[in-house]
Structure formats: structure tokens, C-alpha cells
Structure 1
Amino acid sequence: MANLILKNALDLSDTASQSTIPKDNAKSSSREQGVQPNASRQRFKPQLSCTFCRTRKLKCDRNSPCNNCSKRDLSSSCTYIHNSREKTSKAQKVKDKPKDVQERIQHLEELVVALMSQVKDKTLVPGPTVPPDHQPSIFKGPKPSWPDDATVSESADSIGRISVEDELQNYVGGAHWAAILENIAGLKDSLGSEEWPQGTASGKNKHKGPVLLLGDNRKASRESVLACLPSKPVVDNLIERYFTAIDASFITHTPTFKKEYDEFWDDPNSKSFSWLGYLFAIICLSVNFELRTGDIPIPALSDMAVRDTEQRIRLYREKTVQCLVNSNYTEPGLYTVETLLLYYLSEHFQSKDALFGSWMLFGMIVRAGLRLGMHRDASHYPNISVFRGEMQRRIWAGILIVDIQTSCQVGLPRMVSEEMYDTKAPNNLLDEDLYESMVALPPVRSEDEGSPMSHVLSKYRLLIVFGKIFDASNSITPIQYDEVMRLEKMLLGTREGIPEVYRVGSIKSLDTGPIMLRVRKFSIEMSYLKARCFLHRKFLSEAESLRKHSYSVKACVDSSMLILQYQNYMTIETAMGHSLHAMKWITSSLMTYDFLLAATLLCLYLGQLMAAEEETVDTAFREFPIEWTKEDISHALLKSYQIWNNPEHSSEDTIKFSKVLKAMLNKVDHWSTANKTQTKVSKEITNEANSSNPPNYPASNMYSFPSSDFEENGSKFPTSNIEMIGDILNDPAGLDWNLWDTNFQGSNIYIDAAGSSLFASDLYFPFQAAGLETDMDGS
């Protein structure tokens, strides 16, 4: 049957090539070849009446304009829609016929290929393989082991993912962890659709949405608002916490606010609703931090009617919203954007999952900032004071930082792109350097001093580059690899420019120094690692990319592994009784997203390794230069699984994601068991050699992760025990953790701080793309 179709296609091709034969001969030739004319094609019937006469069913005299249109003064609208068709020459129609025949030939050829593929699949039986010389060239190469929908998942990578659940349609971009999960072969089949994470919290979440958008926002009197204000000692304590422990305080000028704060207590009626909303937003955010850390001043609450912390948060948030409504925030003025930003942060901390409603609220903040002209630098406008211009730069920087972070979290394009603004970055000045009557800015301070603004500027510059990467990942035009490497060099150069005081030499360097400095160093490092994951994550999508773009694969895997190690570190250090417990707020839903992204990328990488081994890929791939073994990666994923299974850290999405991790670890377990069965002798020899000669990693300029970062003692993590993971995870409640600590321990792991110089001498990782030099100094 296939040969007959192919013969007809070839005969038809010969017929089409005879373009000079007479028309009658062509028809007879067509009949002789057994090709029937296309009877379904409808003959074109020109429309002779003008559009107006045809619509009104009038008799048209076919003039231009026609008599009917002329009588009604419609001469300019008298048109004949068939004019363009009439202009088509007979020669053009004849010219189009061979093109139509060629399309039919191509369709027949596609049918031949599809039929041959079906016949091949049906007749495939065990026996000697067909020599390559006897196979059609289109079928050469190893047979893929990915499921049929892998091609769809890969092509959909650039357009994101849409899920429909309970008639709710939810889109996330291709760089979102929930969309990346779709590319892991066979993983979704092992879980039901209800168990599959969607990427944003569903409507079942107890936090329904921002109070400003969905609450009862009737106006309240000044007396009722002031009646809910705590006593001055309590407020004093909350204000102090805001300025000392919350990084968002850089949008508030401390001396000016404290002066206004003292004026308020002297005369509570002297301040506007805008300022009162600002005050309540600060109080609400500070109480939010009290709830997260458990550091609540119980004696100070003894005289308060509302003592429960969560109830206090709801009360202060409600009063913030009432003040915004009374001040008509839709016509923004002084303090409006600042109040909205702080209120948004208090809403953001209500859930460990990404809430789309909060992102919608942030859109209002961006529009308010645009309305006030914060996207244009104040130096353009002489009527804006020097002091106010510098504070606007700080506020706009805060908007840009929150924009990129929250847009990543919900998997949607950011709201502010580079071409929309020309506002300069804020200057590295202390609050004491600024005052309302100043006529010029003083010289900027050195960023090596480690001031709060130097931290903001370091993170701001990283996130500006991250914004370029994020825009490229959301673009409908695929990014070229030369552009990837250009952004990579820009990102590395920006990281090199971070002041030494904020750079992380190793994870152990976070153990020393002031608490706020340690948290800021961690925050900057996480921004850098996440940006690298976004930039290179597309090259984990297929085995061919693993071989062709090995630099990107290594960068993505290294960054993801580091993120999971930071997850483990921060989980331990922010626990009760540890040094960073007061900073537990740092592990918010933003951090949750980073950890989920890293774990998802590592799952995808493991899936590619398994697929590549099933396809028996060439030896160049087997020698892929990544030092992380599948046991190292499985071990890191297992630690993440344990964290997500802890109710203290769990959320709607992480509970579902932990089931994905369990399924992935089970796949790795089965894969490892099968490999050991096939190559038992060679595996035993390799394991014996590794146990006697552990790998010797360079010790200079690298992250060193002692086994205590992962386990309680330093024994080696035995390769042969990886198959135990699946069985243990099947019953996590009955797991004997003492036995676990005895059998599963990690080795020291090292990685280059920038993620690139560890294998600088390796031929697989020359830093060359589109003429880029091997040096990393930006030259």
C-alpha cells in the first residue's frame, strides 16, 4: 500500500513538471494517472452589484458610482468587492495551479511517511536489527524514549502553560516552575491531575484576596480610626522595629517621619488620612514580623483590647485600607504610593503561596507611581525639590525590585519595562545626609561601608540585569544563544561589582557578622542564583541541548544545587533557638518560589539523564562534565522533600510539589536499580575504587559544604543505597530517622562562587560565544 501511494505521488510530480502541455492533454494525462480533479473546490462567482445594492436588494446599474448610490449621496462608499478578483489575470490563475499540485504532492508524501511509520511499528518483532544502510534516512538515529507529548511540552515551553481547574483558567510563563514540571517525561502520569501543582494558590486558599479589593471598604470616621491605635509605647516599639529590621524602610526618610510622628502625638488631628494610613501600614507590617518570629512583647499588650497577633494584623490592615479610601487613593498624593507599597507587603506575607490578587494590587501601585511621574527622573523638573526627587528615586527603585520578584512568582511578564522610565538609581546616602530644605545632594558614600542603601543598590543592579533575562524568557521570540551568553557575562560582571561586604564566599560565611548583614548577603546571593537559573533553564529541555550547550546546563545545575543548600541552611538557622530566628520573615513566599524553581530544574535534569541513558546516547554525553552525581542531586531533593513535608513550612503548592518530588525520587530509584542489575560487576568495582579514593576537589575560591550542612554526622553517602529512597518515601510517617542518618550521609561538596571558574580549564566550558572573551572582567 505504501509503495502504491509513493508511486502515485511520483507520477503526479512528473505530471506537474510538464507545464507546457496543452490544457486538453493535461486533463487526459490526469485521468490516465488516476488523479481525480478536486470536485469539492467551489467555482468563484463574481459579485456584480455594489455592496450597498446587494445589501438593500436593489437593482444595480453597475456603474461607478451606481445610480442608487448617487441618488443617496453615497458615491464615495459605492464599492465592488470583486474588483481585486477580476484583476487577476488568466496567466496568474494558470500559474497557481502547479503550486496547488505541489501542495497535494507534499500531502501525499506526508501520508507515505506516516503509513511507513505505522507499518514499521506494527511489524517490529524481536530479531536481528536491520542494517542502517537499509533504513530510510528519516528514521536514522536512536529511538526517543520520551512520551508522545514531550514534543508538545517542549514547543509549549516558550508560550507558557495554561491549566483549567474547576472552570478557572490559570496561565504561567514557560520559566515558572509549574510550567517546567510539564517537561519531565512521564512524571505527571504517575500523579493524578488533582495532585499536580498549579503554580498559584487556588480559590480554596483561606486568604481570599486583598482587603483593598475585596473587603468592606466603607469610609470610617477619624475618631473610629484613632480609637484602634495602640498606646504610644507599643507604637514606639513597632516603629523602631520597622526602621531596624525591615529592609523596605529605605522608602521612608527616618528623620522626617519621626518629626511628623512626634507632631502627631502632640495633636492627633493635625495629620491627614494619607499620613494616618502610612502609620497604620508601618504598624501592620511590624506586627506581621512579630507573628513570623514569635517575638511578641507580651507585657506591652496587657492593656490592649485585642491581644491576638493575627487579629491585630487584620485590624491594622483594615484601618490602613480605610485611611486609603478616605484619602481617595485613586487620586494619589503625598504618602499614597508609600502606603500602598507597605500595605502590599503586609498582604503578601499572608500566604506562603503566590496570590494573584496581590499581584493585581501591585498593578495599582505601579499606576499610582506613573500618575505621580515617578518613572521620570526628578532632575527634569525644577519644581520638584532635591529632597523629594531623591526620595522618589528610592520609591521607584522599590517598585522595580518588587515588580521583578512578584512577577517571577506568579509567572507573568513584569509590569514595568526598561523603555518606560528614565529615573536614575538612588544615591548611596544615609538618611542623615538628606533634609527637606537641601538645595544639592552631598557626595555619595562608599558602598563598601555596608549601609542599608548600599545593600539596596547592590540588589537593584542585580535585578536590573535579571529584568533583562526575565523579559527575554517571556518574549514570544526565542532568545538566541549568543544573547544568552551576553546576558551571562553581564550578570557575572554585575555580581563582581557587588561590594565585598555583601559577597558570599561560602555558605559558612553566613554564620558570622551582624544578623541584618547576614540576611542581606543571603538575599543578594539568592537573586543572583535565581537569575542564572532563569537564563539557562531552557537548555535542560532536551538531551541535544545538554550536549550542545553544556556551559548553560552546568550553570543551571550548579545554581539550583546551591539554592537547595541555602534552603536547608536557612531552614535550620531560622528555627527556634538558632541565630537567625528573628529573621524568619525572610523565608516568605518569594523564597518558596526560588526553592521550588531549583528543585524543579533538578528534577528536569534527572529526567534528561534517565532519558539519555535509555537512548544509549554517545560517549561524549556520558562524559558530561558535571561533578554532581545523580546521588548528590537526589540527596538534595530528598532534603527539600523533608522540608516541604514539615507542616511549619508547607503550603498548598508545596504539599503537592512534595508528592512530585516523591514520584521523581521513585523514578531515580527504579532507574538506579535497573542500571545496577545490568552492570553489577562494573558498579561494584567503581564503588570500591570510590570508597578508597574519594574525589579531591580544589580548595581555593570555592564553596565548601561540610556534611554538617546536610546531616548530623560526616559519614559518606553510599551510592549503593540510592534505591532505598523510594521505599522509605512510601511511608514517611513511619520512617526511622536514626536509621536514615546512619545510611544516608553527604560528602563535602565544592562549587565555584561564580559558578564558572571551577571548570575553567575544561574544554567543555570555554567562555566563548559571539566573540566573547574568556576573561570575566567585562572587557
Structure 2
Amino acid sequence: MPSPSENGAIKRQGPRVKYVSAAHWAAILDGIAELKDHLEHQDEYQAPAPEQCDGDARPSGPLLLYGGWSRNLTRSFILESLPERPVADRLVSRYFNTVVVQCLVLGEYTSGGPYVVETLLLYLMTEFFPSRDMQVGTRLLVGTIVQIAMHMGYHRDSSRFPTISPFEGEMRRRVWALIYQIDFGTSTQMGLPRLLIRESQIDAAEPRNLADTDFDEHSAELPPSRPDTDVTPALYSAAKLRIFSVGVKVADLASEIRCPAYADVLDLDRQLDVASDSLPSTMKWTGLASCLTESSQVILQRIFLRVCVYRMKITLHKRFLSLERSRVACLTAAMEILKLQHLLDEESQPDGRLYQSRWRVTSAFTHDFLVATSILCLYLRTLSSGEDKGDDATEQSMEEMKTLLRLSQAIWLRESATSKEAQKAAEALRYVLGDSQCGTNGTALSSPAPGLLFTVPETW
């Protein structure tokens, strides 16, 4: 089975040019030559115009970069623009999208200062969560945050600097852990190398597993970490660091122009398994049945960590799809990701376990679902075209993959109205699975109920 293009992909939209690495889902789909030509026409699709508040048009990129806040601002102007609390509760979105930006500009955020990095991260979330697709402007904003944070020394552990209090030092560790994860996550979503963070240049320690009540500004020293069985606000971030510490190596290996040695791939595969096994038991996904007493937030955290591991497996092995071991690893991971996509979709409905936290299913999840969809599309199309007659996949296995993809097709079709990437995924599936699976009104025909479990035969 031929592997996806190892040169990545360059997309042209009029005068605009965009590059993604070979690990990106769009480059994987380019491995299907005829589908590549077909999808190029879909680039003419224009995403829906962003919502406007009270007639104020919002730019297509982050307000901090493209908002045009060039007028002279004063502290009194900002204070006068703040509404009363009852009004603010109803207009919180407008507040974040106009005044968090003006305050940053007024405070000369590029010079650093108290709470600048924290405020920038809060502002980043207001840009990130509403969008179904990753925007290049958001990635540029992440680069700005990384540079300011490093300028302020967040990448160095505070224990080395006596002028930083134990409380401030621990809060800086928490902030840096978030920045590290965002840099890795957005670079993966954009199909680009990481920006400025290199492991050899940082020594910030992992945040301790402490509740907010365990320490404060007056603490002379930090208490020891709580056991991993105690779920604190810091535990999820620490768990992600354990996975991402291997994930950055996987991403760096995948972005290399030269094909890596297979021994290096297997070594990272083992490291990924070790990191996954080292997760706190409270952060391990073992199925919805074992989460009867857990909050929707914890359930989503467990699922996201599991999806991350599967996606890293695909990224690691996709260059070696001609080898049985890597092919099995890729296909198994892709199928498991799509099972979780269907579970998330089902449980995010009004009567589902995850409905209250459905807003947390962001473009980070979407990217991983796209990678899984793309790998299975490439595999099925290669088999159906007769390019790989020596593959030992069974007919039953292929039907199981198609069933998973048909369930995903219904999700992508539903999200196409607000996501350009979802529209491309739906179109790719229509092409790979055939028009018979898509109704004339653009909705999927009836398909098996979500929750079905599929396995990859050991003979693969």
C-alpha cells in the first residue's frame, strides 16, 4: 500500500498559498490522486460569515492582530464601556471580544507585565472555542504568546530564581504547561513544525497535583503533590504533559524531510505506550460504563487523552503503511478514534452524558477525527483501485471500516454548515463510499446505531 505524500501538501486558493506537513489530514487525502483533484474545487467554498454583535463586524482573524484598535485608548474609556453586572452577564461574549483586547493594547502587552500572559491565554480561548476550524491567525497569536512568555522566563523553572515566591512559581508552571500544550496542539492542527519551544532550552517542572486551597500567596513553601487519585485542576494538565512529552518527538520525527529509520519509529511507539500507561488512573479511558459517577468534564478529558494517543500512533506509523505492523497500528488507531467520535456525538445530544460540556469539543478533537477519517479513506480507496492486491484485509474488516465511516459521514454532513474542514471530509467520504450513502438533500441515509464495537483481525 503506498504511503501518503511525504512532501506534505501545498494548497493554492487564488493568490494565497498554504503548506501542511505530511502528517496533516489534508496531505493524507492527497494520497488519493483523483480525490485530490476533486477536492481542489471545494476550496471555492466560503465559510459562513462570523456572527456580528450589535452591528459591529468582526474581522476574520484574531481581534488582537486584525482588529484595528489603533485609536487612542484611555483607562477611563475602558471603565466607562463596562456595563452593569446584570447586563454584563448577558453580554459577556461581546465584552471579551472587544474590551480584553483594548485592555491588552492599552497595557502594551508586548512588553510583558503582571498577568499579561494569563490575559493573552484567556483571550486566545475566546478566539479558539467559537471556531470549528483552526485559523492561521490563531496560530500567529499562539506564536506571540510563546515569545512573550519566554521573554518573561516562563520556560525556566522558578525554583532557580529566589525572587519568585513559591506561589508565583507554581502558577507560572501551570501557565507554561498550558502554553507548551497549546503550541504543540495548534502546530499539529495546522500541519506545521512547532514554533519556538525546544526541550533542550526549557527546564520548567511539571505542575504539582495540588488543589487551589492547598497553597496561597503567603505560603512559605509548597506542599507535596497529592496522589494521582485526587482529581485537582492541575491533574489533567500534568497528564497531558506526560503524553505530549512523547508527542512532540513524534511530531518532530514526522516533520523531518528524510524518512526516519524504522527502529526510531518503533522506539517512539514504545515510549508512547509507556507514557499512556503512566497516566493517572483517574485520567485513563476505560469506557463510558466506568464513568457513572464522573463529571462530563472528566469524561471528556479521558477521551481526549485516549484520542491523542491514537492520533500520535497514526502520525508515527503512516509513512510505513506498506509494512504490516505499521498498517495494523494505523488502521486500529483510526477505527478507535472514529468509535470515540461517534460516542462523543451521541453523548453530546440534549439527553446525553456530555451535553453540558459539549462546548469543550473543539477543533482539536475535529483534527484528530479528520486524521482518522483520512487514513481509512486512503486505505479503502487504495484497495478498491487494485493498487495493493497483496493486502490481507478481510471483507468483513473492510465492511466494518465502511460502517464506521458512514457513521462519521453523518456527523461531517451536519457540521458542514459551519466548518470548511467538515465539508471536505463529507465530500471525501461521499467519493470513497459512493453517492448511495448520501441523500439528495445532503444528509446521510439511515445507518447502524452508534456504539457498535469493531476489532481489527490479528491476521492483518
Judge same fold: TM > 0.5, yes or no.
Answer: yes
Name the residue aligned to 2:157. 377
User: Sequence identity of aligned pairs in percent?
Assistant: 32
Letter aligned with residue 195 of structure 1: Q
The answer to whether the Cα contact below 8 Å between 2:22 and 2:255 also exists between their aligned partners in 1 is: yes
* Partner deviation per Cα, 1:45-66 (whole Å, 9 max, x = no partner): xxxxxxxxxxxxxxxxxxxxxx
Equivalent positions of 1:758-773 (< 5 A) are: 759=458
Query: 1:588 corresponds to which residue?
Result: 362
Which residue of structure 1 aligns with residue 12 of structure 2? 164
> Are the aligned partners of 1:196 and 1:657 in contact in 2 as well (CA < 8 Å)?
no
Q: What secondary structure sits across from 2:299 in the alignment?
A: helix
Q: Where does 1:692-771 land on structure 2 (aligned, <5 Å)?
A: 726-729=435-438, 731-733=440-442, 740=446, 748-751=452-455, 759=458
Partner of 1:325: 105
What is the aligned-residue RMSD (CA, Å)? 2.7
Give how far 1:645 is off: 1.1
Matched letter for residue 42 of structure 2: E
Partner of 2:232: 451
The separation in 1 between residues aligned to 2:348 and 2:173, in whole angstroms, is 33
C-alpha spacing 1:627/1:590, structure 2 compared with 1 (3 Å)? farther
1:574 aligns with 2:348: yes
Q: Distance in 1 between matches of 2:77 and 2:276?
A: 50
Do the aligned partners of residues 181 and 615 (structure 1) sit closer, same or farther apart at CA in structure 2, a change above 3 Å counting? closer
Contact 1:459–1:527 at 8 Å: present in 2 too?
A: no
**1:104 aligns to what?**
none
Alpha-carbon distance in structure 1 between the residues aligned to 2:88 and 2:282: 45
Which amino acid letter does the alignment assign opposite residue 494 of structure 1?
Answer: A
Change (3 A) 1:172 1:386: same
In the alignment, is residue 552 of structure 1 matched against residue 360 of structure 2? no
Shift of 1:456: 1.5
Q: Distance in 1 between matches of 2:395 and 2:202?
A: 43
1:19-39 residue CA offsets vs partner (Å, 9 max, x unmatched): xxxxxxxxxxxxxxxxxxxxx
Q: Tell me the distance in 2 between the aligned counterparts of 1:405 and 1:734.
A: 31
Q: Give the superposition deviation at 1:569.
A: 1.1
Match of 1:484 in 2: 265
Give the 5 Å matches for 1:359-508.
359-415=139-195, 416-508=197-289
1:608 is matched with 382
Residue 55 of structure 2: aligned partner: none
What's the offset of the Cα at 1:732?
A: 4.7
Which residue type is aligned with residue 664 of structure 1? V
Q: Is the CA contact 2:246–2:271 (under 8 Å) kept in the aligned structure 1? A: yes
Q: Partner amino acid for 1:517?
A: V
Counterpart of 1:223, as a letter, is S
In structure 2, what is the equivalent of residue 269 of structure 1? none
Quick check: which has more Rg, 1 or 2?
1
1:678-722 deviation per Cα after TM superposition (whole angstroms, max 9, x unaligned) = xxxxxxxxxxxxxxxxxxxxxxxxxxxxxxxxxxxxxxxxxxxxx
1:188 corresponds in structure 2 to 36
* SS of aligned partner of 2:94: helix
Letter in structure 2 aligned against 1:335: Y
CA 1:305–1:402 in 2, change beyond 3 Å: closer, same or farther? closer
Distance 1:434 1:179, change over 3 A: same
1:220 Cα offset (Å): 2.8
Q: Measure the CA separation in 1 of the matches of 2:182 and 2:396.
A: 33
SS state at 1:227 partner:
helix
Correspondence list, 1:198-277, <5 A: 206=50, 208-217=60-69, 218-232=71-85
| Structure 1 stretch displaced more, 157-166 or 560-569 | 157-166
Secondary structure in 1 aligned to 2:109? coil
SS at match of 1:162: strand
Aligned to 1:256: none
TM-score normalized by the length of structure 1: 0.54
1:491-538 CA deviation, whole Å, 9 max, x = no partner? 101111112122112354355522222122112212212211211122
Distance change >3 Å, CA 729–CA 164, structure 1 → 2: same
CA offsets per residue over residues 150-179 of structure 1, 9 Å max, x none?
8xx85xx33311111111011111100011
**Which of 386, 391, 400 is matched with 1:632 structurally?**
400
State the alpha-carbon separation in 1 of the partners of residues 245 and 175 from structure 2. Answer: 15
Aligned mates of 2:158, 2:214 — CA distance in 1? 18
Q: Name stretches of at least 5 consecutive residues in structure 1 with no aligned partner.
A: 1-145, 233-300, 667-725, 753-757, 765-779
In structure 2, distance between residues paired with 1:421 and 1:614? 47
Tell me the distance in 2 between the aligned counterparts of 1:452 and 1:727: 47
- CA-CA distance at 1:347 after TM superposition: 0.6
Gaps of 5+ in 2: 51-58
Shift of 1:228: 3.7
Q: Distance in 1 between matches of 2:187 and 2:39?
A: 28
**Contact 1:428 / 1:447 at 8 angstroms: preserved in 2?**
yes
Equivalent residue, structure 2, for 1:718: none
Please report how far the alpha carbon of residue 348 of structure 1 lies from its aligned counterpart in structure 2 after TM superposition: 1.0
Please tell me whether the aligned partners of residues 511 and 518 of structure 1 are also in contact (alpha carbons under 8 angstroms). Answer: no
Task: Please give the secondary structure, in 2, of the residue aligned with 1:435.
Answer: coil
Q: For residues 386-415 of structure 1, what are the alpha-carbon distances to aligned partners after superposition, in whole Å with 9 as ceiling and x for unaligned?
A: 221111111110101111111111111112
Residue range with higher mean Cα deviation, 647-656 or 497-506 = 647-656
The alpha-carbon distance between structure 1 residues 593 and 628, as it changes in their structure 2 partners (threshold 3 A), is farther
The count of corresponding residues between Structure 1 and Structure 2 is 450
Q: Which amino acid aligns with 2:143?
A: G
Structure 1: how far apart are the matches of 2:67 and 2:346? Answer: 37
| CA distance 1:477–1:439, change in 2 (3 Å) | farther
Contact 2:47–2:418 at 8 Å: present in 1 too? no
Among 286, 296, 309, the alignment partner of 1:528 is: 309
Task: Summarize deviations over 1:554-596 as a string: whole Å, max 9, x none.
Answer: 1111111111111111112112232311101122111111111
Cα deviation for residue 384 of structure 1 reads 1.7
Counterpart contact for 1:158–1:474, Cα < 8 Å: no
Instruction: Provide the secondary structure at the position in 2 that maps to 1:471.
Output: helix
